[in-house]
Amino acid sequence: MHSQLETLPPEHAAILIRKKRFWKKTMWISLGVGVMLAMIAVSGTVIKMTAAFSSLQANGSADPSVLAGDISEAMLISLWSLPPALLAFLIFLVSLIRCLSLPKLPENSTQAG
Protein backbone atom coordinates (compact mmCIF):
# COMPACT_ATOMS: atom_id res chain seq x y z
CA MET A 1 0.00 0.00 0.00
CA HIS A 2 2.88 2.37 0.76
CA SER A 3 4.20 2.06 -2.80
CA GLN A 4 0.75 2.99 -4.13
CA LEU A 5 0.80 6.18 -2.07
CA GLU A 6 4.22 7.12 -3.39
CA THR A 7 2.89 6.96 -6.96
CA LEU A 8 -0.20 8.99 -6.12
CA PRO A 9 -0.88 11.82 -8.55
CA PRO A 10 -0.45 15.27 -6.94
CA GLU A 11 -4.19 16.06 -7.23
CA HIS A 12 -5.08 12.92 -5.22
CA ALA A 13 -2.49 13.80 -2.61
CA ALA A 14 -3.98 17.30 -2.38
CA ILE A 15 -7.46 15.81 -1.87
CA LEU A 16 -6.18 13.59 0.94
CA ILE A 17 -4.49 16.56 2.57
CA ARG A 18 -7.71 18.63 2.39
CA LYS A 19 -9.74 15.77 3.85
CA LYS A 20 -7.28 15.35 6.69
CA ARG A 21 -7.34 19.11 7.43
CA PHE A 22 -11.16 19.12 7.36
CA TRP A 23 -11.46 16.23 9.82
CA LYS A 24 -8.81 17.74 12.12
CA LYS A 25 -10.64 21.09 12.19
CA THR A 26 -13.96 19.34 12.81
CA MET A 27 -12.35 17.34 15.59
CA TRP A 28 -11.01 20.42 17.40
CA ILE A 29 -14.19 22.47 16.98
CA SER A 30 -16.44 19.67 18.26
CA LEU A 31 -14.11 19.04 21.19
CA GLY A 32 -14.16 22.73 22.13
CA VAL A 33 -17.94 22.99 21.84
CA GLY A 34 -18.47 19.78 23.81
CA VAL A 35 -16.20 20.84 26.66
CA MET A 36 -17.75 24.31 26.75
CA LEU A 37 -21.30 22.90 26.95
CA ALA A 38 -20.33 20.44 29.67
CA MET A 39 -18.74 23.25 31.68
CA ILE A 40 -21.87 25.38 31.27
CA ALA A 41 -23.99 22.48 32.53
CA VAL A 42 -21.82 21.84 35.56
CA SER A 43 -21.24 25.48 36.51
CA GLY A 44 -24.89 26.42 35.99
CA THR A 45 -26.02 23.56 38.18
CA VAL A 46 -23.52 24.41 40.91
CA ILE A 47 -24.47 28.11 40.86
CA LYS A 48 -28.21 27.38 41.08
CA MET A 49 -27.76 24.75 43.81
CA THR A 50 -25.61 27.19 45.80
CA ALA A 51 -28.29 29.85 45.46
CA ALA A 52 -30.99 27.41 46.54
CA PHE A 53 -29.13 26.36 49.67
CA SER A 54 -28.05 29.94 50.44
CA SER A 55 -31.72 30.94 50.64
CA LEU A 56 -32.30 27.96 52.92
CA GLN A 57 -29.43 29.07 55.16
CA ALA A 58 -30.54 32.72 55.21
CA ASN A 59 -34.08 31.91 56.32
CA GLY A 60 -33.18 29.10 58.70
CA SER A 61 -35.92 27.07 57.10
CA ALA A 62 -37.44 27.01 53.66
CA ASP A 63 -40.66 26.13 52.00
CA PRO A 64 -40.05 22.71 50.42
CA SER A 65 -41.85 23.71 47.22
CA VAL A 66 -39.61 26.79 46.76
CA LEU A 67 -36.48 24.73 47.43
CA ALA A 68 -37.68 22.03 45.03
CA GLY A 69 -38.32 24.68 42.37
CA ASP A 70 -34.77 26.05 42.74
CA ILE A 71 -33.27 22.57 42.56
CA SER A 72 -35.45 21.78 39.55
CA GLU A 73 -34.10 24.89 37.79
CA ALA A 74 -30.57 23.73 38.53
CA MET A 75 -31.24 20.34 37.01
CA LEU A 76 -32.83 21.87 33.88
CA ILE A 77 -29.53 23.55 33.06
CA SER A 78 -27.87 20.13 32.89
CA LEU A 79 -30.81 18.63 31.06
CA TRP A 80 -30.50 21.15 28.21
CA SER A 81 -26.69 21.42 28.11
CA LEU A 82 -25.51 17.82 28.27
CA PRO A 83 -27.28 16.32 25.21
CA PRO A 84 -25.66 18.82 22.79
CA ALA A 85 -22.34 18.19 24.56
CA LEU A 86 -22.77 14.46 23.96
CA LEU A 87 -23.58 15.14 20.30
CA ALA A 88 -20.40 17.22 20.01
CA PHE A 89 -18.46 14.34 21.58
CA LEU A 90 -19.91 11.90 19.03
CA ILE A 91 -18.92 14.27 16.21
CA PHE A 92 -15.44 14.38 17.74
CA LEU A 93 -15.23 10.58 17.74
CA VAL A 94 -16.41 10.32 14.12
CA SER A 95 -13.89 12.99 13.10
CA LEU A 96 -11.09 11.20 14.93
CA ILE A 97 -11.94 7.87 13.28
CA ARG A 98 -12.19 9.48 9.83
CA CYS A 99 -8.92 11.35 10.29
CA LEU A 100 -7.06 8.26 11.48
CA SER A 101 -8.52 6.09 8.70
CA LEU A 102 -7.05 8.28 5.96
CA PRO A 103 -3.82 6.87 4.55
CA LYS A 104 -0.59 8.54 5.56
CA LEU A 105 1.10 10.42 2.77
CA PRO A 106 4.80 10.18 1.99
CA GLU A 107 6.84 13.15 3.22
CA ASN A 108 7.25 14.71 -0.25
CA SER A 109 3.46 14.70 -0.84
CA THR A 110 2.68 17.00 2.07
CA GLN A 111 3.90 20.01 0.11
CA ALA A 112 0.96 19.74 -2.32
CA GLY A 113 -2.01 22.12 -2.04
The structural domains of the chain, with segments of one domain joined by +, span: 24-99
Distance CA(77)–CA(79), nearest Å, equals 5
pLDDT at 1: 47
What is the model's pLDDT at position 51?
Answer: 85
**Entry pTM:** 0.68
Long-range contacts of 78-85 (CB under 8 A, 24+ apart): 78/41, 78/42, 78/44, 78/45, 81/37, 81/38, 81/40, 81/41, 81/44, 82/37, 82/38, 82/41, 84/33, 84/37, 85/33, 85/34, 85/35, 85/37, 85/38, 85/41
Torsion angle defined by CA atoms of residues 99, 101, 103 and 105, in that order, rounded to the nearest 10 degrees: 20
Residues in the chain where the model's pLDDT stays below 50: 1, 112-113
